[in-house]
Structure 1
Amino acid sequence: MKPTNYHLFDFLDFDVDLKKDESLWKAYKPLAVEEKDGDILVSVPFQKQVLDNDMAADKDVPQEVYTLVIRQYGPKITRLFMGFGEERMTDESEMLKYSSRIVKMPLHADFADDQWTISTGDSVKRAVINMREPVLDRWSDLQPDPQETLDIRLYPDGKREVRLAAYDHFSPPRYDALPLAFCKNEGRKERATLSFECKADECFAGTGERFAKMDLSGQTFLLKNQDGQGVNNRRTYKNIPFYVSSRMYGTFYHTCSHGKLSLAGHSTRSVQFLSDQAMVDAFVIGGDSFEEIIRGYRDLTGYPSMPPLWSFGVWMSRMTYFSADEVNGICDRLRSEHYPCDVIHLDTGWFKTDWLCEWKFNEERFPDPKAFVHGLKDKGFRVSLWQLPYVAENAEQIDEARANDYIGPLTKKQASEGSNFSALDYAGTIDFTYPEATAWYKGLLKRLLDMGVVCIKTDFGENIHMDAIYKGMKPELLNNLYALLYQKAAYEITKDVTGDGIVWARAAWAGCQRYPLHWGGDSCSSWDGMAGSLKGGLHFGLSGFAFWSHDVPGFHTLPNFMNSVVDDDVYIRWTQFGVFSSHIRYHGTNKREPWFYPNIAPLVKKWWKLRYALIPYILRESCKATESGSTLLQALVYHHPEDRTCWHIDDEYYFGDSFLVAPVMNSANRRDVYLPEGSWINFFTGEVVEGGRWLKDVAVPLEEMPVYVREGSVIPVYPEAVECTDDMDMSKEADIVIDKTFKGIFNTVSL
């Protein structure tokens, strides 16, 4: 649809020709406010609007009244809920996993001076409902009087005001945002919108793995999971209905429906959310830091669990290995040439037919899979396996899956949802809303895990067959939630069998942070692919996720998707980025093993050894992230939300709380580096640099990387070279104090 620049069409998705039986219902001033069981119930009338791009009340249609629920959880979170007679408020949801800090605080309401003041028992103001008439100095009747509106101010932490966008219009008929409204289509309620006021200098971040600039203000996003097809466009595998604001609040929209989120995009005065479902359920979270706000989000949706030690080592993969002999040859060479490595990943080629996922090893090319897996474990290699949540038409399990409704029965023939790279017909999506289907899927994985496999790559899951019948919900609601149900099943069976809770996942929705870890999808092996990956990881870390990785050195190549050669400098610079990421995995459409890049192979080995030296630090920061609002890959604004410069930096990051990392993403081997306030020490040279300024056009040889540590930081390291984490005795870890006597890590630790 071509944009019209009218709110009704461009944001609320009305038919531009106004030929559909659609109607918009706008919230008016409350009729009543009452207390019930510690909640505040606000009776809100809604007035139908005439079907026109200029809004006006349709007085021939009676108002409809619905209840807005205001609830307080603890001292920092206020919840707004309205189900428009269609949905009920619930604390039972796959997305919600309340921590012990989520305790309902009873609210009470007092009316004085033409407003309702809503407070908790500690006399802290949590909301104000304005009932006052606006002050007028009437001199013209050129424009009609504005319609009534819903004017509510929230104070989730008792300090910061988050106001509904009650007055975002040019003239009474020309609205740019509505504080609260719903739509009908052929008499059925189907969409709802909630808008908050936005300040002129307000900045935003989060919303999932967003391949965009740091400050998201001025943008509107479709919250619909889909195959990202790279990391340089608006599509994304991981939409998270949660954002953080520079005004130090965040909002989590508790829904799995498709929707839109406009962060000062359609109107610079408003943050607008549109749900395809006739329901609004928003948790508004206040805090004095982003760590506190994100911790509030995790208090609602769950905390990340701790990945196992071995997962922090190097993972080696490509698309794909095809036989036990090929894999053993690669692993033997890694050991003989002393490249430290912990995981070998088998992608699409371990089945009888490449891409035909049957959860069984090819018996000819992997004749004794259990012995194969255990033999690798004896050498210090764990095995990770690729699969996906669709059953192909020619799969061994197709008849069983169809007969038992383990896949959602299709209502019509449709194109494959399974893969961009295969012509296989994926006949159905495993129905994780059906407990028996989930148990069946877990059984398929258990046979592999019982062999000694340690991790399942839960690839895809962003799309499902939409023309299918699922036991638990409609496909329009399942599509976004699917990633959570899928990864939960794989995570649970992996932890049950192996004791280690881990998956390697691509899609995500709210709550998926509980089931680490996630990687950034099919990036290009190029500088723009690296930059896009980092942007996605930074926003993802501000969306509640602690553990995130990416394919080193990118997944596909250009100009030939599968067959172009990766440049040496891209390979080594991406390796450096991987060393300073929560997890590091080599993967892609062609050769990824370092000896295929002989000019830089010795340098790659040195960086791998540095990775293993840093594992004690990574473990410390990971443990912190599972207990707080922290993450491993931290945008600069996470620590410096008040620094306006940081809101424009998306090519640097904190790695944990101590390291400041500035990857080089060009062939010129130069870049500008911004150092926030404080005294910083170069991790590789020991040079002391004062912050609060830019370092311009810094020359960075290929063997170096701009990494700085705050003076006085203590970095735990492993002081000995190892082949894999099995060789580590953590009692040997040593602390390095980063002060003016520090001469650089390569002069401190023997690698």
Structure 2
Amino acid sequence: MNFLRYLLTGLLLLTSTSLVYSQNIKWLEVEPGIWKGIIGKPENFDLLKASGAVAVHQGLSDMGQAKFPLGESDITAKVTDGKTYLHFPLSQNEQLYGLGLNFKTVQQRGRILTLHVDNYEGKDNGRTHSPTPFYISSNGYGVFINSARYIQVYAGTAVRTDSKNPPIAQDRNTDDNWSARPYSDGVDILVPAQGVEVYVLGGPTMLDAVRRYNLLSGGGCLPPRWGLGFTQRVQRLSTAADVLKEADAFEEKGYPLDFIGLEPGWQSKSYPCTFEWDKSRFPDPRGFVGAMLKKNVRLNLWTNPYISPESPIAKIIAGYTGSHSVWVGAVADITIPEARQVFFGELSKNKIDIGVSGFKIDEVDGGDEYLWPDVATFPSGHSAEQMRQTYGLMMQRYVTGQYHQLNRRTFGLVRASNGGGSSFPFVIYNDYYNHRDFITALINSGFAGVLWTPEVRDSKTAEEWLRRFQSNIFSPMAMINAWESGTKPWTFPEVAAQVKQMAALRMQMMPYWYSEFAKYHFKGIPPFRSMVLEDGFGNHDLIKNTNDVNLKDYPYGRVITQEVKDQYMAGQYLLVAPMFNGETSRKVILPKGNWYDFYTGKYAGNGEVISVMPGLDKIPVYVKDGGIIPMMPATLHAPKANEKVDLEIRYYGNKPGYYLLYDDDGETFEYEKGAWSFRKIKVELKKGKIAGEISAPVKGKPNTIGKVTFKKMG
């Protein structure tokens, strides 16, 4: 009897561990145009929970309804061996975008990726700073996998035997078109968990799907005005006297400066960190921070989260740390409230509470040689894998929360993010330094729901320095990172005047950048994004002649399009086409509609590829017909809270123009209580003369707009 009992028990265990079941997914519309499906038993800890994201219902309601974009029966799911298998259909003419912050590729159909938080090492394989499990289809929909696991994605590479559009078997001996990678009509996704939440986001356009994702994730971030100014990160062992001297040099030479970043040397010890000021370099932190603020220059502090044995919180937090260290520093389990209270309380003490304006959160991405291994354990019970996928998210969330409690906005830097992190006021950076790939990452950031800066560090030549600086000005954070090199904007005297001119342009454009970030926050529109999200830029215009294509390299002939990864949209009206070191000319693809030179207003073209030779002083930037760019005077610092500034409204082309100019106090979270407005700007030509108007300020709302003038460009 005992033998039979043990045998039956063993068979039951064997059956349960190898359980296989398929399920028809029930799709529930949770927000307008967003449907959630639940497969198996989702884990209690996922990306949206880690980020604390709350959907922006008003923004999603304003977008209106959408149709479920796929055939429900074409989406299949299966749970087996403790893993979840998902299958989504692909049509023959469909291209895919997204799947994380990629640096070399924009189109993702035909790729195999393991979405894994890591430092980027030169290959688009899914291991990146923000491996956001969200893809967008050229058919105008998106798919988001809400899992804090390493997700494997076969983006149109796996061929199912039950395919509705199977590839034709070919004879390699005789068929020159034979390919080792046959056509696939699906996206297959493996989630190493016994269930998962999946979201399908409707369109009808790709931009609509991206907007819905950002709004589901809490809306895009809204930085303070000063965050959109200029920042300089100083050498790592700089002293208080060095920093004050550097700020004075910026002012004396007439270069704008809004915040300075202090690198590891501000701490008494780093790698691992004490989170205490070094008394020899910064003997009076409060006085130092106050002196900088009097100069209208804020401070941003570098740190990583790994706790030195000599940190004042080391013993207090010891019971809330993981089993493995990083650089012999303890890793706080910040999913536990008590750990958060200690850790983020230390970041506040003598830092945030004396006026420090933000942080650069380093080393929360990878790599495997020094970060905690996947065999690590944490007292919360969350796996090392889940912690790896979400640590950057949580650091952003809780640092932002510290500032929110003080009603002060922040803007900082971080090395890792993930799905659900769109609302956090942090910009991703890394140690990779390829200028072209930086621009591709900027393009992909709009698909990944993150911000990316093509920071400037150093250069071999004055030309390279200027080219990097020019594209950096048209990005989320205009920054020189001189932590090692000590470079300054004027390091190359032969181009110092052009650098100063570009820095001044950044300040002049602040009303435009600030309004575009407001649209990111309230409407989910990425301020920097791919050309494929722009009206009039259709893939059909870029299809290559498949007769000239080697199908061994391109097995998807019907979806081969030119991959545009060196130009992008910046805000509502601007097309930016960076120049790279050694280039004297380049081609620019203009979408349909009339486009005009940003600097002169001269007509540039309509739905065509143009060749340009801009010279060294500028990079090609174009404005669509009817474009409105609000500008302010070039100042050395961003406007203070509620400070009024005069505006020059620049108008391009001939079509009637319309623009929403955002206004609030510029520094606090009072906008969350309704203290904001969009002022409507209208411009048109009447008998060849410009006629412009701006709506009156809203009673009871902030009004930072002074005198307004209108200027016709061209």
Cα displacement (A) at 1:710: 1.1
Distance change in 2, residues 1:351/1:672 (3 Å): same
Map 1:226-625; keep pairs closer than 5 Å. Answer: 226-229=118-121, 235-267=127-159, 268-353=184-269, 355-402=271-318, 405-410=319-324, 417=326, 425-447=327-349, 448-463=351-366, 465-466=372-373, 467-497=376-406, 499-524=408-433, 529-545=434-450, 547-553=451-457, 566-588=460-482, 589-625=484-520
User: Secondary structure of 2:589's match?
Assistant: strand
| AA partner of residue 465 (structure 1) | W
Instruction: Indicate if the aligned counterparts of 2:271 and 2:306 stay in contact, CA closer than 8 A.
Output: no
Tell me how far apart the structure 1 counterparts of residues 447 and 562 of structure 2 sit (CA, whole Å): 13
Instruction: Indicate if the aligned counterparts of 2:470 and 2:578 stay in contact, CA closer than 8 A.
Output: yes
Cα displacement (A) at 1:327: 0.9
Q: Which residue of 2 aligns with 1:642?
A: 538
Instruction: Indicate if the aligned counterparts of 1:579 and 1:607 stay in contact, CA closer than 8 A.
Output: yes
Cα displacement (A) at 1:67: 7.4
| AA partner of residue 201 (structure 1) | N
User: Secondary structure of 1:193's match?
Assistant: strand
- Aligned identity (percent) is 23
Matched positions, count: 594
User: Secondary structure of 1:426's match?
Assistant: coil
Instruction: Indicate if the aligned counterparts of 1:483 and 1:508 stay in contact, CA closer than 8 A.
Output: yes
Question: Per-residue displacement from partner, 1:285-313 (whole Å, max 9, x unpaired)?
Answer: 11122332123223432112311111110
User: Secondary structure of 1:690's match?
Assistant: strand
Tell me how far apart the structure 2 counterparts of residues 92 and 678 of structure 1 sit (CA, whole Å): 39
Instruction: Indicate if the aligned counterparts of 1:521 and 1:550 stay in contact, CA closer than 8 A.
Output: no
| AA partner of residue 525 (structure 2) | S
TM-score (norm 1): 0.73
Distance change in 2, residues 1:720/1:91 (3 Å): closer
User: Secondary structure of 1:196's match?
Assistant: strand
Distance change in 2, residues 1:731/1:381 (3 Å): closer
Question: Per-residue displacement from partner, 1:388-446 (whole Å, max 9, x unpaired)?
Answer: 111134545433332xx232234xxxxx64xxxxxxx2332121111011111121111
Distance change in 2, residues 1:245/1:91 (3 Å): closer
Distance change in 2, residues 1:215/1:443 (3 Å): same
Is 1:707 the counterpart of 2:621? The answer is yes
Q: Which residue of 1 aligns with 2:610?
A: 695
Question: Per-residue displacement from partner, 1:110-162 (whole Å, max 9, x unpaired)?
Answer: xxxxxxxxxxxxxxxxxxxxxxxxxxxxxxxxxxxxxxxxxxxxxx9436324
2:77 to 176, 180, 201: 180
| AA partner of residue 653 (structure 2) | D
Q: Which residue of 1 aligns with 2:648?
A: 734
Instruction: Indicate if the aligned counterparts of 1:388 and 1:460 stay in contact, CA closer than 8 A.
Output: yes
- Please, which runs of 5 or more residues in structure 2 have no aligned partner? 1-10, 160-183, 543-560, 655-687, 691-709
1:94 to 32, 47, 50: 50
Cα displacement (A) at 1:731: 3.7
Tell me how far apart the structure 2 counterparts of residues 164 and 426 of structure 1 sit (CA, whole Å): 52
Tell me how far apart the structure 2 counterparts of residues 346 and 47 of structure 1 sit (CA, whole Å): 52
| AA partner of residue 519 (structure 1) | I
User: Secondary structure of 1:93's match?
Assistant: helix
Distance change in 2, residues 1:498/1:627 (3 Å): closer
TM-score (norm 2): 0.77
Cα displacement (A) at 1:503: 3.3
Tell me how far apart the structure 2 counterparts of residues 665 and 262 of structure 1 sit (CA, whole Å): 33
Instruction: Indicate if the aligned counterparts of 1:681 and 1:739 stay in contact, CA closer than 8 A.
Output: yes
User: Secondary structure of 2:623's match?
Assistant: strand
Cα displacement (A) at 1:63: 6.8
Is 1:76 the counterpart of 2:33? The answer is yes
Is 1:193 the counterpart of 2:75? The answer is no
1:632 to 486, 504, 527: 527
Tell me how far apart the structure 1 counterparts of residues 270 and 247 of structure 2 sit (CA, whole Å): 22
Question: Per-residue displacement from partner, 1:85-111 (whole Å, max 9, x unpaired)?
Answer: x7589998335523336999xxxxxxx
Distance change in 2, residues 1:103/1:598 (3 Å): closer
Cα displacement (A) at 1:690: 2.1
Cα displacement (A) at 1:668: 2.5
Distance change in 2, residues 1:632/1:91 (3 Å): closer
Instruction: Indicate if the aligned counterparts of 1:520 and 1:537 stay in contact, CA closer than 8 A.
Output: no
Distance change in 2, residues 1:80/1:552 (3 Å): same
Tell me how far apart the structure 1 counterparts of residues 236 and 389 of structure 2 sit (CA, whole Å): 29
Q: Which residue of 2 aligns with 1:413?
A: none
Cα displacement (A) at 1:493: 0.6
Distance change in 2, residues 1:733/1:103 (3 Å): closer
Cα displacement (A) at 1:183: 3.1
**Using CA pairs below 8 Å that are at least 6 residues apart, which structure has the higher relative contact order?**
2
Distance change in 2, residues 1:434/1:634 (3 Å): same
Cα displacement (A) at 1:624: 1.0
User: Secondary structure of 2:261's match?
Assistant: strand
Q: Which residue of 1 aligns with 2:592?
A: 677
| AA partner of residue 250 (structure 1) | G
Instruction: Indicate if the aligned counterparts of 1:492 and 1:501 stay in contact, CA closer than 8 A.
Output: no
Question: Per-residue displacement from partner, 1:475-501 (whole Å, max 9, x unpaired)?
Answer: 222221222212111111123236114
Tell me how far apart the structure 2 counterparts of residues 368 and 656 of structure 1 sit (CA, whole Å): 42
Cα displacement (A) at 1:726: 4.0
Tell me how far apart the structure 2 counterparts of residues 457 and 89 of structure 1 sit (CA, whole Å): 26
Is 1:663 the counterpart of 2:578? The answer is yes
Distance change in 2, residues 1:694/1:730 (3 Å): farther
Question: Per-residue displacement from partner, 1:428-472 (whole Å, max 9, x unpaired)?
Answer: 212111101111112111120112111111222224524132315
Instruction: Indicate if the aligned counterparts of 1:430 and 1:437 stay in contact, CA closer than 8 A.
Output: yes
Cα displacement (A) at 1:278: 1.6
User: Secondary structure of 1:461's match?
Assistant: coil
Distance change in 2, residues 1:570/1:406 (3 Å): farther
User: Secondary structure of 2:255's match?
Assistant: coil
Q: Which residue of 2 aligns with 1:219?
A: 111
User: Secondary structure of 2:216's match?
Assistant: helix
- Worse overlay, 308-317 or 63-72: 63-72
- Give the RMSD, CA atoms, in angstroms: 3.3
Distance change in 2, residues 1:164/1:242 (3 Å): farther
Question: Per-residue displacement from partner, 1:594-648 (whole Å, max 9, x unpaired)?
Answer: 2221111111111100110000111111111111121111110111463343862
Instruction: Indicate if the aligned counterparts of 2:47 and 2:146 stay in contact, CA closer than 8 A.
Output: no
Question: Per-residue displacement from partner, 1:183-231 (whole Å, max 9, x unpaired)?
Answer: 32xxxx2x21101111222111112211132211111111110122468
Instruction: Indicate if the aligned counterparts of 1:303 and 1:627 stay in contact, CA closer than 8 A.
Output: yes
User: Secondary structure of 2:372's match?
Assistant: coil
Distance change in 2, residues 1:361/1:686 (3 Å): same
Tell me how far apart the structure 2 counterparts of residues 257 and 732 of structure 1 sit (CA, whole Å): 50
